[in-house]
């Protein structure tokens, strides 16, 4: 009963942060947010398993997981108008079902050591949201959507990197180096294409966060303990997310101009 109450409450949250841009840009933005939160949600679930003997840390993580779950439901809800308007009713229904299953499974077995089921549903959510972005871009085909995709992919890449930093098992140095390169390339493209919304000062701050993220990768490679490297990565990634989020708010607030 508590699980259902939580899910229903989350479903009816509504924050119309992108109302000025109409449903199209908002819907595409929601698809990227879903991908990013899918990575974040499972990373937090993994951290809960690692913090089982730390009540203070556990409390913080539980709060973050709740916030991430709410973001998943919220973005499906906010995407509804745009998806239905684009004739993508099936995609919206599938997104609702996958998000509900994803969160419900995590709540039903919070102490499970086997994350394979959650990982399967995470992959399904990321794949469906990415496919929906492609369909929306094909339908709209405007410069605004292409620029929005630059921002959205950068947000996804921040969370994908944090997820893989913690979860990868093989060839981690290569994987993480490649993802850092993707992230840095995305920042450069945003600065070149969205200078009005991504100032030189903000760009330099973002590049500084990349330095700390790179140092975290180096520390991870040289030490068996992830604690400090993980903490530094999460802090730097959080600052980078805020900088990219500010670009998104500015761009959508200007109606994609």
pLDDT at 11: 40
In angstroms, the CA 202 to CA 154 distance is: 14
Identify whether residues 158 and 113 lie together within a single domain.
Answer: no
Query: What is the DSSP annotation of 178-193?
Result: HHHHHHHHHHHHHHHH
Domain span holding position 25: 20-141
Give how many domains the chain has, as a whole number. 2
Identify whether residues 85 and 133 lie together within a single domain.
Answer: yes
Q: Look at residue 3 and tell me if it is in a domain.
A: no
Question: Taking every pair of C-alpha atoms in the chain, what is the biggest distance, in angstroms?
Answer: 51
CATH for 112: 1.20.120
Q: Which of 110, 141, 172 is the last residue of a domain?
A: 141
Identify whether residues 254 and 169 lie together within a single domain.
Answer: yes
Identify whether residues 119 and 152 lie together within a single domain.
Answer: no
pLDDT at 112: 62
In angstroms, the CA 242 to CA 246 distance is: 6
Identify whether residues 37 and 129 lie together within a single domain.
Answer: yes
Q: Look at residue 28 and tell me if it is in a domain.
A: yes
Whose CA is closest to 84, among 27, 43, 128, 6?
A: 27
| Overall pTM surpassing 0.85 (yes/no) | yes
pLDDT in tens, the chain (257 residues): 444 344 434 443 333 333 334 468 899 999 999 999 999 999 999 888 887 777 778 888 889 999 999 999 999 999 999 999 999 999 999 999 999 999 998 887 666 666 888 999 999 999 999 999 999 988 877 778 889 999 999 999 999 999 999 888 878 888 899 999 999 999 999 999 999 999 999 999 999 999 999 988 888 777 656 677 888 888 999 999 999 999 999 998 888 88
Q: Look at residue 14 and tell me if it is in a domain.
A: no
Q: Which of 141, 174, 197 is the last residue of a domain?
A: 141
The torsion angle over the Cα atoms of residues 20, 21, 27 and 29, rounded to 10 degrees, is -100
pLDDT at 133: 93
Write the Ramachandran bin of 107: left for phi over 0, alpha for psi from -120 to 50, otherwise beta: alpha
pLDDT at 13: 36
Identify whether residues 137 and 172 lie together within a single domain.
Answer: no
Identify whether residues 85 and 148 lie together within a single domain.
Answer: no
Q: Look at residue 13 and tell me if it is in a domain.
A: no
pLDDT at 2: 42
Whose CA is closest to 218, among 208, 228, 203?
A: 228
Identify whether residues 196 and 235 lie together within a single domain.
Answer: yes
Q: Look at residue 226 and tell me if it is in a domain.
A: yes
Whose CA is closest to 37, among 169, 126, 124?
A: 126
Identify whether residues 109 and 150 lie together within a single domain.
Answer: no
Long-range contacts of 60-65 (CB under 8 A, 24+ apart): 65/41, 65/106
The b/e string for 67-105 (b: 16+ C-beta within 10 A; e otherwise) is ebbbbbbbbbbbbbebbeebebeebbebbbebbbebbbb
User: What sign does the CA torsion over 70, 47, 185, 176 have?
Assistant: negative
The b/e string for 28-37 (b: 16+ C-beta within 10 A; e otherwise) is bbbbbbbbbb
In angstroms, the CA 173 to CA 61 distance is: 27
């Amino acid at each position: 009963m508590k699980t259902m109450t939580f899910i229903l409450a989350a479903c009816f949250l509504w924050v119309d942060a992108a109302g000025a841009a109409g449903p199209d840009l908002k819907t595409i933005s929601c698809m990227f947010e879903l991908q990013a939160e899918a990575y974040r949600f499972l990373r937090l679930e993994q951290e809960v398993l690692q913090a089982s003997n730390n009540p203070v840390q556990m409390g913080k993580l539980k709060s973050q997981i709740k916030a991430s779950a709410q973001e998943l439901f919220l973005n499906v809800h906010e995407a509804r108008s745009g998806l239905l308007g684009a004739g993508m009713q099936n995609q919206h229904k599938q997104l609702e079902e996958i998000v509900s299953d994803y969160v419900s499974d995590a709540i039903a077995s919070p102490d499970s050591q086997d994350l394979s089921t959650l990982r399967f549903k995470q992959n399904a959510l990321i794949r469906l949201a990415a496919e929906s972005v492609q369909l929306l871009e094909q339908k709209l085909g405007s410069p605004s959507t292409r620029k929005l995709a630059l921002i959205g992919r950068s947000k996804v890449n921040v969370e994908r990197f944090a997820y893989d930093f913690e979860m990868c098992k093989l060839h981690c140095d290569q994987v993480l180096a490649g993802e850092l390169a993707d992230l840095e390339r995305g920042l450069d493209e945003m600065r070149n294409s969205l200078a009005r919304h991504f100032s030189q000062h903000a760009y330099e701050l973002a590049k500084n966060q990349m330095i700390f993220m790179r140092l975290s990768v180096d520390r991870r490679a040289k030490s068996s303990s992830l604690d400090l490297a993980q903490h530094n990565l999460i802090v730097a990634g959080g600052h980078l997310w805020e900088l990219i989020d500010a670009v998104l708010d500015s761009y959508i607030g200007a109606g994609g101009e």
